[in-house]
Chains A and B, each alone.
Chain A
Amino acid sequence: MLFVSICFGFTKPKNQYLTRNGQVTFFSYASAENIKAENNEVLSILDVNKEKIAVNILMRAFEFEKSLMQEHFNDSYIESDLYPRATFEGTILNFKPRLKGSQTKFIKGDFTLRGITKPVKIKADINYNDGEYTISGETTIDVKDYKIKIPQILASKIAKTVKISFNFKYEPYEK
Chain B
Amino acid sequence: MKSNITLILTLLLFISNAVKAQDLLDQLYFEEKKKTVLTESTFKMLRIGFSHSVETRKKGVLEVSAYTRYWNIPEIEGVTTERSNFGSDRASARFGADYALNNNLSIGAGWSNNGVYDGYLKYRLIRQKTGEKKTPFSLTLLGALSHRSREIGNVSLSNNPDPSDIYNSSIPKGSVNINGGLRDKTNFIGQFLIARKLDRNLSVQISPTIIARGSNAFEEDPEVHLALGFGGRYKLGKHVSIASEYFYVPKQYALQSLETFGPFSLGVNWEVSKVQIQMFLTHTGDFSEDLVITETPVNFNTKDGNLFFGWNFSYVFHLKKNK
Contact = CB atoms under 8 A, between A and B. Distances in A.
B323 A65 contact: yes
B200 A20 contact: no
Interface residues of B, number: 38
B31 A18 contact: yes
Contact of A71 (B13, B41, B239): B41
Interface in B1-34: 6, 9-10, 13-14, 16-17, 20, 23-25, 27-29, 31-33
Interface stretch (B53-61, B186-194, B211-219, B291-299): B53-61
A53 interface: yes
B45 to A, nearest CB: 11
Interface in B26-76: 27-29, 31-33, 37, 40-41, 44, 57-61
Contact of B17 (A5, A50, A53, A58): A5
Contacts of B239: 76, 151
Contacts of A154: 272-273
A17 B288 CA distance: 60
Nearest to A47: B24
B25 A89 contact: yes
A2 B6 contact: yes
A54 B13 contact: no
Contacts of B23: 54, 89
B274 A68 contact: yes
A7 B273 CA distance: 57
B322 A65 contact: yes
Interface of A: 1-2, 5-6, 8-9, 11, 13, 16, 18, 20, 38, 43-45, 47, 50, 52-56, 58, 60, 63-68, 71-72, 74-77, 79, 81-82, 87, 89, 149, 151, 153-154
For the complex of A and B, the 9 pairs showing the least CB-CB separation, nearest first, are A67-B58, A54-B24, A5-B13, A9-B13, A56-B28, A65-B321, A76-B238, A66-B318, A75-B41
Interface of B: 6, 9-10, 13-14, 16-17, 20, 23-25, 27-29, 31-33, 37, 40-41, 44, 57-61, 200, 238-239, 271-274, 316, 318, 321-323
